[in-house]
Amino acid sequence: MADTTRSFRELDSQAQIDAALEEGRLLFAGSCDFIFGAQKLGQLPPQTLPEIAFAGRSNVGKSSLVNALTGRKTLARASSEPGRTKQLNFFNLADRLMLVDMPGYGYAKAAKSVKEDWQEMMFDYLRGRPGLKRVMLLLDARIELKPHDEEVMKLLDRAAVSFQIVLTKCDAVKPAPLARKEEAILAVARRHAAACPFLSLSSSEAGQGIEQLRAELAEFALPSQSS
């Protein structure tokens, strides 16, 4: 599994935890603007900020998570036709961090050409973007791991891009099954060199895990000009 810097969850004191949570809150309370939607590698905007990408199956809740993190209900819009969106959407967060909403994968009804285009574009983006700090790989806590999910993990391994698994919609799963799911997913993650040695539990609807994710992502942002 990937080597990582000390994570938010490993902080020693309540004062450190509170400070990290506040840093995350302040970052995500800042302006967040849609910059560009790129459909091919040549359209990618210049790298001016550290980037965090959000990947996952269609309908896993990527757009909902981006909206929950930024506190904006319609910043990232889910496609009305799952599996058909083919562009990388870039959002500038307070001129300190770029959030990248990637197209969903694994939609059964999507044309084969769409699926192939998605994989080609994703790999081209991953391997050619040195400013990409981490991919947040979203998995639905209610659904078993699919072959497409492990294929993406292997792709991330090949691209040598650190990824962190985020279980979504955790409010819809009871504690005991959720704990079993968490351990099973961690066991899979241990087989992947690029995977972080921990995962996050979240619910965009209930707000679960949102503050913690903000604090973790704030570690990758450029320093505030006021600090």
Domains of the chain: 8-218 (3.40.50.300)
- 57 and 115 Cβ atoms separated by less than 8 Å: no
195-201 vs 163-168, strand pairing mode: parallel
Instruction: Tell whether the model's pLDDT for residue 82 goes beyond 90.
Output: no
Q: Residues 32-48: what's their mean pLDDT? A: 89
State the pTM of this model.
Answer: 0.89
- 122 and 86 Cβ atoms separated by less than 8 Å: no
Q: Residues 154-171: what's their mean pLDDT? A: 95
Instruction: Tell whether the model's pLDDT for residue 150 goes beyond 60.
Output: yes
Instruction: Tell whether the model's pLDDT for residue 224 goes beyond 60.
Output: yes
How far is it, in rounded angstroms, from Cα 80 to Cα 58?
11
**Which bin fits 59, alpha (ψ -120 to 50), beta or left (φ > 0)?**
left
The sign of the dihedral angle between the CA atoms of 31, 32, 34, 38 is: positive
**Can you give the pLDDT at residue 109?**
55
Percentage of the residues of the chain whose pLDDT score is greater than 70: 85
In this structure, which amino acid lies at residue 22? E
How far is it, in rounded angstroms, from Cα 24 to Cα 176?
29
Instruction: Tell whether the model's pLDDT for residue 80 goes beyond 80.
Output: no
Mean pLDDT over each residue of the chain, to the nearest integer? 87
CA-angle at 18, arms to 16 and 24, nearest 5°: 105
**Can you give the pLDDT at residue 208?**
95
167, exposed or middle or buried, with CB in 10 Å at 0-12, 13-18, 19+? buried
**Site of tokens 């603007």:** 33
